[in-house]
Amino acid sequence: MRIAPAPDSFGGYYYNGRSPRRFEVRVWLEAGGLRIEGGEEEQRWLYGELEVSTAHNEPQRVERHGSNEVLVIEDSRFAAALAEYRPPAANIHDLRWPVLLLSCAGLAAVAWLAYTRGVPLLANAMAALAPPFVEERLGQAVAGILAPPSSRCADNAAQRGLSQILGRLKATIPGQTYDFRLAYDASPVPNAFAAPGGQIVFFRGLLDAAETPEEFAGVLAHEMQHVLEKHPTRGIAREFSGRAILSIFSVDSAGRPTAAIAAAELLKLAYRREEEEEADRKAIAMMARAGMRPTGLASLLGRLQERGQASDGPATYLSTHPAMSGRVATLARLAATEGREYGELPAPEGWRSVCR
């Protein structure tokens, strides 16, 4: 039986490291390196400057050494194709090949176990121990990088009206220690993200897409659950290994978290599938406790999908996110299980004019 060769081109997504926007691209494997079409401009990445990481059952990430640029390729055949095109490593002399292969396999097994078992366990433990005030400092640094003050909208009556929805959701979690705060960015990307410690940033594009206050509330409840479950803090801890995990607990002479530098790498982060699903499930329950129709998140994401606007953004909807069609169906099913009648959520005056 003839085995078909690996393909020489793959669909993927390109992140330029300067904005949360992603570009859908076509990646060609050629003799000298990768040719990338469909982004801001055609690019060529040499094989020698590639850093490739692949986790079990996760998309493959290709980083360009010395920059924040990232490719995300979901096709599992990419690794095999890259191995065919990429030049082999330099020969190692004076070692017998069986010994060398066994040694490499042993090291790979140890590294895989350390990464898949040790780092997540350590990240979860350190995130659980991080006090809220430390997460707040880290969150300020994260929000300042992903949504700088220069791009944010000034406070107005509409924003204060939306804060009332936040207060209604907060009332369902008495005793929680996070100081949830809302901020708004003028970017047209239909997205939002939660920073460690409780700051939640909405982009104008998401407010344009939302047709009802319940849809806004659905996204807000989802992001609040990420904070309550410490998902952003765990994500940072997982990404930056032991030294960065410890840096979450340290501050410099000005009282700023030393992990603020590492926070710039959030453009490369993605929540795990189970974290996204947990945030969805608990957001539905939170809205029901608050007396809000829990169908808002499903209706908003369904509309974005129909319009082809289901954007991936920093720390929220990257490629590890559950498939959108399945996610919308699951959200609708969860909302239906609540089995209650809900009154219409009053719309804050001028709420859709925020950032206009």
**pLDDT tens across 301-314, in order?**
888 888 876 644 43
Nearest to 128 by CA among 197, 230, 274, 228: 230
Backbone angles phi, psi at 12, to 5 degrees: -165, -170
Burial of 207-235, coded b for 16+ CB within 10 Å and e otherwise, reads bebbebbbbbbbbbbbbbbbbbbbbbbbb
pLDDT exceeds 50 at position 32 = yes
CA atoms of 274 and 195, how far apart (whole Å): 18
211 contacts 295 by C-beta, under 8 angstroms: no
**150-159, 171-180, 308-317: which range is least confident on average?**
308-317
- Average pLDDT (37-50) is 88
Please name the residue that has the structure tokens 């090949």.
Answer: 97
pTM of the predicted model as reported, rounded to 2 decimal places: 0.60
Q: Please give the residue that has the higher pLDDT: either 114 or 51.
A: 51
20 contacts 151 by C-beta, under 8 angstroms: no
Report the interhelical angle of 273-289 vs 324-337 (nearest 10°): 30
- Neighbouring CB atoms inside 10 A of 27's CB total 25
pLDDT exceeds 50 at position 264 = no
- At 126, the pLDDT band (50, 70, 90 cuts) reads low
- Average pLDDT (306-334) is 64
Mean pLDDT in the chain? Answer: 78
327 contacts 321 by C-beta, under 8 angstroms: yes
Predicted local distance difference test score (pLDDT) of residue 55: 64
Q: Please give the residue that has the higher pLDDT: either 15 or 253.
A: 15
**196-200, 226-230, 306-310: which range is least confident on average?**
306-310
**38-47, 66-75, 207-216, 320-329: which range is least confident on average?**
320-329
